[in-house]
Structure 1
Amino acid sequence: MYYLWVKAFHIIFVASWFAGLFYLPRILVNLAQVPPESIAERTRLIGMAQRLLRFATLLAIPALGLGLWLWLGYGIGKGPDSGWLHAKLLLVLLVIGYHHGCWVLLRKFVRGENRRAHTRYRWFNEVAVLLFAAIVILVTVKPF
């Protein structure tokens, strides 16, 4: 009975975490487009990004914890047909790295050290979508 509750809350926190990871790079796109003389707009966008990063980080913690509970506590992905879980865990590590990358990029904006064009951040923005899609496919289809 608890298994379904743990699974449901895991899905809710993962989806919420990814919502932050979908939007945070979009704020970086906007920050890269702000003219240097527009201090108020830059300050507002940095504040939004910092709050969103904190919120996404707080959502990541229970998402990861509940995922560990499903894996270690309920034995999800154990057995001969568990290759999908190994691939998913690799992608989860990439998501954590992506989250950290968002933090590093935001720090560069805060310090005024960004030298990249907004198009680079547009491409960076798509990485979270690809990771999310791959994870959902692995968990749903379990191709191996």
Structure 2
Amino acid sequence: MIMDWLANAYLWTKALHVVSVMSWMAGLFYLPRLYVHHTEQTVAGTEMDGVFQMMERKLLKLIMNPAMIASWVFGVLLLLTPGIVDWSAVWPYTKLLAVGAMTWFHMWLAKHRHDFVEGRFSLSGRTYRIMNEVPTVLMLIIVFSVIVKF
């Protein structure tokens, strides 16, 4: 019965997964850029520091966290849908590894938000610029895994 429901809901599940992932990726691209400017343009305890902290908190808590959770929920539903994943191929495993790495990156960003809250600017703007490339690399791995199915 659940398998029939998953099969019938497949297109809706896939559409909701894509929308969730797009929202999550938008945040993963934007939050490190906020960190670059926060690090380079502000001093702890100033009004501008508070503005950056508010923007970062809202982006993480109101957009990124729900989008990540929805991406995982709809992704797992897709994994459970009969006939969608060929587990004898390599692509599901490369996608899962990349999604795991994307989740780690999300948590890394959340951890560094606490540095700003505590008044520590522990990493340089250059470090955040470099880390800003991580979601792009992971996105490419995921997209090529799913579309090309290598």
**TM score, norm. by length of structure 2:** 0.88
Q: Flag as ranges the 4+ runs of structure 1 deviating above 4 A.
A: none
Deviation at 1:2, TM superposition (A): 1.7
The answer to whether the 8 A contact 1:3-1:74 is kept is no
Identify the residue that residue 90 of structure 1 maps to in structure 2.
Answer: 97
What pairs with 1:120-131 in structure 2 (closer than 5 Å)? 120-131=127-138
- Aligned to 2:122, the other structure's residue is in SS state coil
Calculate percent identity across the aligned residue pairs. 33
Indicate the larger mover: 61-70 or 28-37: 28-37
2:115 pairs with 1:113? no
- Aligned to 1:43, the other structure's residue is in SS state helix
Deviation at 1:45, TM superposition (A): 0.7
The answer to whether the 8 A contact 2:45-2:119 is kept is no
Distance, in Å, in 2 between the alignment partners of 1:38 and 1:109 is: 10
- Whichever residue aligns with residue 52 of structure 1, its letter is L
Distance, in Å, in 2 between the alignment partners of 1:72 and 1:110 is: 40
Distance, in Å, in 1 between the alignment partners of 2:116 and 2:45 is: 14
Which structure 1 segments of 5+ residues have no match?
Answer: none
Identify the residue that residue 51 of structure 2 maps to in structure 1.
Answer: 44
- Aligned to 1:46, the other structure's residue is in SS state helix
What pairs with 1:29-108 in structure 2 (closer than 5 Å)? 29-36=36-43, 39-54=46-61, 55-80=63-88, 82-108=89-115
Which structure 2 segments of 5+ residues have no match?
Answer: 1-7
Distance, in Å, in 2 between the alignment partners of 1:63 and 1:142 is: 20
Q: Deviations over 1:26-69 (max 9, x none)?
A: 10001111242771111101110000001100111111101000
Work out the number of aligned pairs and report it. 142
C-alpha RMSD of the superposition: 1.5
Distance, in Å, in 2 between the alignment partners of 1:68 and 1:78 is: 14
Deviation at 1:79, TM superposition (A): 4.1
**TM score, norm. by length of structure 1:** 0.92
